[in-house]
């Protein structure tokens, strides 16, 4: 079974400050890890993914994420937050084993960037 946990329902950060949104995962094989963002009344948009290789993954809109195998974490980060970054962020995992695309999403973290 695969699962992902986002321990914070909401993260508040001042504009211009660095932000971190936390995610931990559990899979039986090698993980495929993703971050998606959802704006109100919209579908999800892809931010970045980790499949293999460098532990620091760079994605859209200046976001990056750090894969830590020993801590089974994949935290989302950005050096300087923008008000426009305020949205709902979902971490997702897919077990590398198997041949289909069941992606398991976390419950989401609401990011609020304060001007």
Residues that bind other proteins (CB under 8 A): 32, 34, 36, 41-46, 49, 51, 90, 92, 94-96, 98-108
Q: First CA to last CA across the chain, in angstroms?
A: 41
φ and ψ of 61, to 5 deg: 60, 25
Q: How far is the CB of 49 from other proteins (least distance, A)?
A: 6
Identify whether the C-beta of residue 104 lies closer than 8 Å to the C-beta of residue 93: yes
Q: Which is nearer to other proteins, 41 or 115 (CB)?
A: 41
Q: Which is nearer to other proteins, 35 or 81 (CB)?
A: 35
Q: How far is the CB of 90 from other proteins (least distance, A)?
A: 5
Chain position carrying tokens 């499949």? 51
Q: Which is nearer to other proteins, 1 or 115 (CB)?
A: 1
The Cα angle at residue 9 between residues 5 and 13, in degrees rounded to 5: 115
Q: How far is the CB of 72 from other proteins (least distance, A)?
A: 18
Q: How far is the CB of 11 from other proteins (least distance, A)?
A: 16
- Is the four-CA dihedral 92, 64, 10, 41 of positive or negative sign? negative
């Amino acid at each position: 079974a695969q699962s992902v946990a986002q321990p914070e329902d909401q993260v508040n950060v001042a504009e211009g400050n660095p932000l971190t949104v936390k995610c931990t995962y559990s899979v039986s094989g090698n993980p495929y890890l993703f971050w998606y963002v959802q704006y109100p009344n919209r579908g999800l948009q892809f931010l970045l993914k980790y499949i293999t290789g460098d532990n620091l993954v760079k994605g859209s809109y200046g976001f990056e994420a750090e894969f830590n195998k020993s801590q089974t974490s994949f935290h989302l980060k950005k050096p300087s937050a923008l008000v426009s970054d305020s949205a709902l962020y979902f971490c997702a995992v897919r077990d590398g084993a198997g041949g289909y695309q069941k992606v398991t999403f976390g419950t989401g973290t609401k990011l609020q960037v304060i001007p």
